[in-house]
Amino acid sequence: GYGRVEDLAGLAVLLIIFSSAVVAGYESINRFFHPQDIHYLWAVALASVIGFLGNEGVAIFRIRVGREISSAALVADGYHARVDGWTSLAVLAGALGVWLGYPLADPIVGLAITAAIFGIVVQTSKEIFTRMLDGVDPAVVDEIRHTADRVADVKEVTDIRARWLGHRLHAEVNIAVDSHLTIAQAHAVAAEVRHRLLHALPNLSLVVVHVDPVEKSGERHHRVEPHAHDGLPTHAHMA
């Protein structure tokens, strides 16, 4: 019941990546004023290549699996590994530049990597904060509408609300059916909509289907009009 914890974990990873960018930027600027000589270039090169390949392999795997299961935390952790890999390449590029007689190559490459890391921070933060604020890709809503609309006896899909909880999707769908259907028949239509949605969207774990007669469907028929009762003044309720 604590699906938001996964999004908070992604936010924690994002803060770590941001910290890495700040440190990388600080060190790069510092080396503009205090260049350092490079010793044992072959060892630096070997360690950098191994570090990059290892981290990039982990990053590709985590990002791919995170996309498949819609886990923002795992995707963020994959980007964290990618940042570590890029840092390894930056060390190699800077060392080669210094070895070739360009002492400013190290801080310049470092600043370029810093900019790339900040780019990852921006991209990842958009994904995480969109989920935390209950934002959903419009394509997901379109898929829900298209799937529900194809069920027999569904006259109209009047409302859709969806949100992510961790890597699980929850949805509420309002459908309109013929008013001549019995309660049992309308319930069967709702059950079929739910069944098809669970098949169409693998990450959908909870879906509530509300049924209205087609003549009284839509938001305006669910609005509670201003009224008075029990001696209270005229008032309305937020839907």
Count up the domains in the chain and report the number. Answer: 2
Q: Are residues 61 and 96 in the same domain?
A: yes
Q: Are residues 164 and 120 in the same domain?
A: no
Q: Are residues 23 and 80 in the same domain?
A: yes
Has residue 231 been placed in a domain? Answer: no
Q: Write down the pTM of the prediction.
A: 0.68
Q: What is the pLDDT of residues 109-164, one digit of tens each?
A: 888 888 888 988 888 888 888 888 888 889 999 999 999 999 999 999 999 999 98
- DSSP state at residue 163: E
Q: Are residues 147 and 211 in the same domain?
A: yes
Give pLDDT, residue 7.
81
- CATH number of the domain enclosing 59: 1.20.1510.10
Count the Cβ atoms, other than its own, within 10 Å of residue 227. Answer: 10
Number of C-alpha atoms within 13 angstroms, CB side, residue 92?
17
Which domain covers residue 90, as residue numbers?
4-132
Q: Are residues 105 and 14 in the same domain?
A: yes
Number of C-alpha atoms within 13 angstroms, CB side, residue 51?
16
The average pLDDT across 201-209 equals: 91
Residue 100, token pair as written in the block:
């070739």
d(CA 98, CA 34): 13
- CATH number of the domain enclosing 217: 3.30.70.1350
What confidence tier does 222 reach under pLDDT thresholds 50, 70, 90? low
